[in-house]
Amino acid sequence: MIRNPLITYLLIFGMYAGLAQTPLGGSTYADSLNHILKSEHNDSIKARVNLLLSEYWYNKDTTMAKEFLAMGDELGRPFPYLKGLKQYFQAYFYYNTDPEKSRSIYLKADSLLKTYQNTDAYFYRSKVWRRIGALRQVEDDEKSFTDILLNKAIPFARKSGDSALVGDHYMALGIVFKNQRQLDKAEEYCLKAIHALKNARAEPGVLAKAYYTIAENYVFEEKYAKTKAMLDSAKVRLAPYPDSEHFLRYYAIEGMYFTVVEQFDDALISLDKGIALAKKRSLKYEEQTLLFQKFYVHYNNKEYRKAEKIFQFLLRQKEIMSLAINKLQIYQGLTETYVNLGDMKQAYEWQKKYSTLSDSLHTSKLKSDINALEIKYNNAEKEKRIARLEAENEMASLSARNNRLANWLLGTISLFFLFMVLYSYFYYRKDRKLAFEKEQNYQNQLTKLKQDQQLLSAQAMLKGEELERKRMAQDLHDGLGGILTGVRMNLSHVEGKVAKTLYGEINKISTNVDKSMKELRRIARNLMPESLSKVGLSDALEELCKSYGSAAFKVDYQPFDIQSSLSETEQLTVYRIVQELLNNALRHSGASLVIVQCSQNKDKFYITVEDNGTGFDPQDPQHQKGLGLRNLEHRVKTMDGTFKIISEQNDGTTVNIELNVLG
């Protein structure tokens, strides 16, 4: 049996945390830039638009990309800032053909941009270092790439205020840890990426990439239910753009998923869709990698002749055979295929080719190591010669130092008096600064006390509200519920004693009493959900979502890693928040579908409720004063949490909530 096919897939298809692709709906993006170019008269803006168009056209028409770069360079020459920006866009032209030159130009871009302390400069410096790191990753230096992401790219992205860029860097870290099989860390950073990208309302292609990346990680972790959920989320974002290159990656990972769950026919359907798209886009290498994946579907389904036929075809394709690692995979695959077919002669021949190529790669690496040692030796000899020359220069300068000693002494005395003057000045300033800081600390403490008092008031109010709900539920159950039960029993008792002409009326009364009892029980459950203590938070939320669902109002509940260790108060608060959000969606949104996602990561609990309704303006004071939003804000504050409402007219509403729990 061939070793895990997913490992092989990783080696040939998407091993690197690559650069961001062109936005989905790229032609619209280019049209909008061209429109600005025609209507704008400011040379600085026109220069930037030309640079952006050069990046857009690079993978489509290199000649046109170079023309836009040259025009951007010409228009931007009077502006020092744009000189640094131009270096960033120019470096990409050498990214694949001359990595060292590309790295050198990126470093020059960073050197020119670092003199500017603004969000735009931080944004491009973050992207510069991301690409420098990616070049190190291609050289198999994952450690340097990780260091650059954590200490350069992400800090600059945060300074720029671009949450989408921060999320994209988190996703790159997730891919690095996935490649190293540190799957827990990969999952952690992919979830951080999704959270940041959703809050930033990032471009759909970037968010889709985050979803299918974590889906691939879940395949490796054998969390297949989560894999399917993430693939579905990616597909929703990609569906309006059926010809997007993102679908190549999506179909490949979907094929992986169907292969490991042994749904081989579905796997072939997914991979064939990807192959058709690759042919349509004239992407031969991507087409061949998807064919490569089909080999593993046939192999694991014991269709060895079909598997052999695919690899025999790939042997003749120069694109995939240009990489030695791909050759090794194919030679090994053919060896084990022929073993299963019982053709030991062919298996032996392909095993010899595999061994020869493997030994050759090892020898090549050995030569590289020897050359590296030789370079280190030559550098050491040069350093010795430099040290000798420096010693001679030191002797020559010794006499000059003695002559300067007297001047230095006089200068030192002068500097001492200057230091005393400056010391007195700065001491006075420091004293004033300390007084100001004390006043600020006092104001901060006062503000914190007010906030703490508000929080305690909110907690007390909510606690009192829950106690009142519990009392009302008990009173309804014991009081009105008992009365209705007695009425129902009396009706049943007199039913046989009245005239037949009154049977219909008695039945109507009995039916209305039954409906009243059912409505009473529903109100009591809403006032105090017993399911929380009986089945736990996750199942109680699922029951809550089902109770709101109907043919015209569908509710899709998606839980992830909700722990049972949450306190009763925390569980009740989460339950009330979701209940409030569902009430608002049902009453005001006009939606036909609501997605409720609840997940927990250590001491963080995340709630996302998304609907496809009419949306609204969150800044409208009329909506901000609503009782529902005030209740929601109070409950979130009691758990030291944050929430954000993302909504536009006719574009649905998304509510993202982050809570702190003891977990």
Q: Which of 264-278, 331-345, 511-525 has the lowest mean pLDDT?
A: 511-525
Residue where a domain terminates, one of 182, 208, 239 = 239
User: Is the pLDDT reported for residue 368 higher than 50?
Assistant: no
User: For 392-430, how does the pLDDT look when each residue is reduced to its tens digit (9 = 90+)?
Assistant: 666 656 666 666 776 777 777 778 778 777 876 777 777
Cα–Cα distance for residue pair 203/348, rounded to 1 Å = 51
Q: Residue 527: what pLDDT? A: 60
Residues 6 or more apart in contact with residue 128 via CB below 8 angstroms: 88, 91, 106, 109, 110, 113
Q: Which pLDDT score is estimated for 88?
A: 92
Instruction: State the DSSP string of 277-299.
Output: HHHHTT-HHHHHHHHHHHHHHHH
Tell whether the model's pLDDT for residue 9 goes beyond 60: no
Mean pLDDT, residues 614-625: 75
The C-alpha atoms of residue 131 and residue 135 are separated, in whole angstroms, by 6
Alpha-carbon Rg for the chain, nearest whole angstrom, is: 34
Residue for token pair 């394709």: 317
Q: How far is it, in rounded angstroms, from Cα 198 to Cα 657?
A: 12
CB neighbours (10 Å) of residue 481? Answer: 17
Q: pLDDT band at 660, cuts 50/70/90?
A: very high
Nearest to 150, CA basis, from 164, 129, 121, 135: 129
% the chain with pLDDT above 70: 77
Residue 185 has pLDDT above 60, yes or no: yes
Neighbouring CB atoms inside 10 A of 144's CB total 15
pLDDT band for 195, please (50, 70, 90 cuts). Answer: very high
Rounded to an integer, the average pLDDT of 603-617 is: 91
Our count of domains for the chain comes to 2
Q: Per the domain annotation, does 235 fall within a domain?
A: yes
Question: Is the CB of residue 462 less than 8 Å from the CB of residue 575?
Answer: no
Is pLDDT larger for residue 13 or for residue 68? 68
Residue 257 has pLDDT above 50, yes or no: yes
Strand ranges, E, within 415-545? none
Mean pLDDT for all residues in the chain: 81
The pLDDT confidence band at residue 635, using thresholds 50, 70 and 90, is confident
- For the segment 33-42, what is each residue's pLDDT rounded down to a tens digit? 888 888 888 8
Assigned domain for 274 exists: no
Residues 531-548 pLDDT 10s: 777 788 889 899 889 988
Tell me: pLDDT of 259 over 90: yes
CA distance 344 to 23: 50
Going by C-alpha positions, the residue among 285, 191, 267, 273 that lies closest to residue 238 is: 273
The lowest-confidence range among 135-139, 187-191, 504-508, 552-556 is 504-508
- Pairing, β 642-647 against β 604-611: unpaired
Q: Which of 209, 239, 269 is the last residue of a domain?
A: 239
| Higher pLDDT pick, 190 / 368 | 190
Mean pLDDT computed over 573-589:
89
Which of 169-183, 354-368, 468-482, 631-645 has the least mean pLDDT?
A: 468-482
pLDDT over 60 (residue 627): no
Classify residue 482: in a domain, yes or no: no
Q: What confidence tens digit (pLDDT) does each residue in 67-82 have?
A: 988 998 898 889 999 9
Give the pLDDT band of residue 435 (cuts 50, 70, 90): low
Q: Looking at the domain assignment, is residue 388 inside a domain?
A: no
Share of the chain above pLDDT 90, in %: 38
pLDDT above 70 (res 11): no
- 189: domain CATH number is 1.25.40.10
User: Across residues 446-455, what is the average pLDDT?
Assistant: 62
Local confidence band at 364 (pLDDT 50, 70, 90 cut-offs): low
Structural domain boundaries, residue 226: 162-239
Residues 287-320: pLDDT tens digits? 999 999 999 999 999 999 999 999 999 999 998 8
pLDDT at 370 over 60: no
pTM over 0.75: no
Asked whether residue 369 is domain-assigned, the answer is no
The residue assigned the tokens 């008092």 is 453
Q: Does residue 15 register a pLDDT over 50?
A: no
pLDDT band per the 50, 70, 90 thresholds, residue 466: low
Q: What is the rounded CA–CA span in Å between residue 166 and residue 192?
A: 9
Query: Residue 516 pLDDT more than 60?
Result: yes
Residue 373 banded pLDDT, cuts 50, 70, 90: very low
Residue 458 pLDDT greater than 60, yes or no: no
169 within domain boundaries? yes
Largest CA distance in the chain: 134
Check: CB of residue 227 under 8 Å from CB of residue 266.
no
Closest CA to 574 of 529, 613, 534, 612: 529
Which of these three, 192, 215, 239, is where a domain ends? 239
CATH code of the domain covering residue 617: 3.30.565.10
31 or 224: whose pLDDT is higher?
A: 224
For residue 563, the 8-state DSSP code is -
The verdict on residue 655 lying in a domain is yes
Q: Is 593 contained in some domain? A: yes
Helix H segments across 239-323?
246-260, 264-280, 284-300, 304-314, 318-321
